[in-house]
Amino acid sequence: MIDELSKTIRAQLHERVSSPLLATFSIAWLVWNYKFVLILFASVSLQEKFQMIDAVAFPSGILILLNGLVYPLAAALVLIFLYPIPAKYVYEYAKKRQRDLKEIQQKIDDETPLTKEEARAIRKEALKRTMDLEEELEKQVANVERLKEIVREFEESESKEYNRTQSGEFSVKRNPRASDSNLNRSNILVTAEKYVEESIKNHIIEKYSGADAKFLVDVKDNQLHVSVLPGSVEGQSKSFRYDYETPDDDNLSPVISDLQKRLDQDVRSFIGM
């Protein structure tokens, strides 16, 4: 409660102090009543200060009203409302003169021939930038070659996979760490992963056969990995990973449907289909 009250008071004080009228009025009041300020800080007794204030600073009641309120308020209003009008034109004139001086300086600099040191420095800077650009170009070329190699490996992998499928070759390897009691469960998990992988591949072939992109699909440890290599964007690729759970009843249709929806959303967002 006390903290909130303190914050409220500080906020109100800050708002009052930052007010243009109050700040300008305070300055004007100090100027009009400089005698009062000097007497206030004079090295005399308090009684002498009061006497000097009555005799010098405010000898009459009308001066108290004029110097204490009317004159400072009038000066503040003049500074707030009238001063900005000529100040605007003065500021505009000064900026134009600065612009003219810069144009004259630029004209003289353009007509002045470069010294040998300046020419040497410019050539050195240009050579450095050229070398930096060549280095960046080499990096981009290396990235393109790396992506081409990935695409070739992907195409070779797809070709081998297609040949194995056409020849009817398929094997389920037993996990050497699995016990005999878990053999059937291990076989189901591996078979489910293969089923998910083939289903996603068929979905990609049907859905994105006309897309200018290559896809690399891998399923391992109940996680689907799909790498997309767009042909129109050199040096950029995107990998997506999706976790899934194998149902106890081995009904993978809902799982595959969910994976297809998530994959379609990410692929469309990436390649702009």
- Which secondary structure element, helix H or strand E, spans residue 241, and what is its range? strand 238-243
d(CA 199, CA 205): 10
DSSP 155-197: HHHHHHHHHHHHHT----PPPTTS-GGGHHHHHHHHHHHHHHH
d(CA 228, CA 204): 11
Cβ neighbours for 125, distance < 8 A, ≥ 6 positions apart = none
pLDDT tens digits along 135-186: 888 888 888 888 888 888 887 776 766 555 544 433 333 333 333 333 334 4
Name the 3-class secondary structure at 229: strand
Cα angle value 56/59/62 (rounded, 5°):
135
pTM: 0.33
pLDDT tens digits along 211-266: 778 888 999 888 999 988 877 645 577 889 999 888 877 788 899 999 999 999 98
Task: Give, as one character, the DSSP assignment of residue 21.
Answer: H
d(CA 32, CA 47): 23
Q: Which residue has the higher pLDDT, 34 or 161?
A: 34
Name the 3-class secondary structure at 126: helix
Give the burial class of 49: count Cβ atoms within 10 A of its Cβ; 0-12 exposed, 13-18 middle, 19 or more buried.
middle
